[in-house]
Amino acid sequence: MEQTYRDSYQRTHLIGALLEKFDELLNERAVVSTAGRVMSRRKMGKVLFFNLADGEGNIQVFADISGLGQEEFSRLSNDVRIGDIVGVSGIVFKTRTEEKTIKCQSFSLLTSCLRSLPEKFHGLSDVETRYRQRYLDLIVNAETRNVFRKRSHIIKLMRKHLESNGFMEVETPIFQKNPCGASANPFVTHHDAKDIDLYLRISPETFLKQLIVGGMDRIYEIGKNFRNEGVDASHLQEFTMLEFYASYWNYCDNIEFVKWLIQQVLLGVMGSLELEYQGMSFDFRQWQTVEYRDLVLNDCGIDILNFETVDGLLAEITKQGVALGEIDPGISLGSLIDKLYKRVSRPRLIQPTVLLHHPAVLIPLARPNDQDPRVIDAFQILVNGWEIAKGYSELGDPILQRRLLEDQLALRHQGDSEAMFVDTDFLTSLEYGMPPVSGVGIGIDRLTAIATNQRNLADVVLFPLMG
């Protein structure tokens, strides 16, 4: 049996384009050339049918002795197997059952497949194989290919709409000396040449704000963040974020822009603002708005703004009979409030929701509210109990910002592994003056999962980390 690995093949059409223009090509009796993987084949005497797929579509190929000649037909019959990659040239026609078909006039075996493709490869029946051998999933599962096309389209549309609104794409470091911008435990590595410890970024926030100080008016970045935390259906340790900042906007401006951006992306990719997700229906034309304080109070009877110490809040949590599970000895007040909210409130926020005015102890980089400095001018967009986006009016006061970050560092020394580091370069930049600005982070993986009806973020990441 022949095995071969060719270096190229000239195609006139991808299979998807060939199918779109089929009637025109049929009328012209044009000779077409395309290539793809053989997904099935059946021989009936002196004729052979096989299905050719290239990721954009699939088409039937018909071959017989009259079209190829005895020698080539025998070679096609004997040497080409399911899984092989083949180039085919011929004219198109429709069978008696109206199936679009290429009548093979010549072929080239381009790449031999040495392993058998799985006969049945349904997603949930072999999840680990799908993740570990994503290439097999992509070869056999049209649904998987469609999910990743939509993911690409989502990112493309985000860029398009941001740039049409005056945003410029930038890049900031993955390696950071002082990871800041989120409450998270970072991954650490070591730079041998400089002999310094570095961290994989948990957020690009403080670098993007330095660019705002430098006069860049509206900027965005799409890239990877890394957080050394637990993994579940809605959390991955390596994930993709869109983060953008607009000078002279506040959080209210950004709420409206983010809702509009999500709507435009969903319309462009899905064609509708009404989505079906795991047996539920989401309507992105309707957004409920709730206050963080009121939400937690209604869900467990605790007014979180009445407590200034961990011990006091813990006592009230015990009194109200809320089971939070294991509490780290060094937990901070902000982390405890966050844990309480995630236990009693967040799972209930199923429909598209705007959550407003988080307690100030939760986000030290956000601007305190003018009327009540115990809360910040912040918001989250939540769907299915997942945080899809978070944004706020940025804190521009360099003196207050330094104090808040130094407080965070003290909490880290006391045992809170998710407290922020002090980014001294960022603090220095603020002393030169940062204009009013609001920023937002949007989780690409989560938005894609919601849009494509995928239960687990690993289903929308091509190569999720496996143990």
Model pLDDT, residue 2: 59
Mode of pairing for the β-strands spanning 85-94 and 100-111: antiparallel
Measure the CA–CA gap between 441 and 208, rounded to whole angstroms. Answer: 12
CATH classification for the domain delimited by 142-287+352-459, as one of 3.30.930.10, 3.40.50.720, 3.40.605.10, 3.30.470.20? 3.30.930.10
Model pLDDT, residue 418: 85
| 323 CB neighbour count, 10 Å cutoff | 8
Q: What is the model's pTM?
A: 0.94
Measure the CA–CA gap between 76 and 96, rounded to whole angstroms. Answer: 24
Q: Which two tokens stand for residue 55?
A: 């990721």
Domain residue ranges of the chain, discontinuous segments joined by +: 15-111, 142-287+352-459
Model pLDDT, residue 360: 97
Q: Check if the beta carbon of residue 45 is closer than 8 Å to that of residue 80.
A: no
Query: What are the pLDDT digits (tens) for 212-239?
Result: 999 999 999 999 999 998 889 999 999 9
DSSP state of 422: P
Contacts of residues 169-172 at CB distance under 8 Å and 24 or more positions apart, as own/partner, are: 169/219, 169/220, 169/221, 169/222, 170/208, 170/211, 170/216, 170/219, 170/220, 170/221, 171/221, 171/223, 172/201, 172/204, 172/207, 172/208, 172/211, 172/221, 172/223
Model pLDDT, residue 452: 98
Measure the CA–CA gap between 125 and 148, rounded to whole angstroms. Answer: 20
Task: Identify each DSSP E strand in 267-350 by its residue range.
Answer: 274-277, 280-283, 288-291
Measure the CA–CA gap between 109 and 141, rounded to whole angstroms. Answer: 23
Phi, psi (degrees; rounded to nearest 5) at 419: -70, 155
Residue numbers in the chain where pLDDT is lower than 70: 1-3, 120-125
Q: What kind of architecture, by CATH, is found in domain 15-111?
A: Beta Barrel (2.40)
Measure the CA–CA gap between 102 and 287, rounded to whole angstroms. Answer: 50
- Which residues lie below 8 Å from residue 427, measured CB to CB, with a gap of 6+? 398, 401, 402, 405
- Which residues lie below 8 Å from residue 319, measured CB to CB, with a gap of 6+? none
Measure the CA–CA gap between 93 and 193, rounded to whole angstroms. Answer: 64
Q: Check if the beta carbon of residue 162 is closer than 8 Å to that of residue 274.
A: no
Query: What are the pLDDT digits (tens) for 378-428?
Result: 999 999 999 999 999 999 999 999 999 999 999 988 888 888 999 999 999
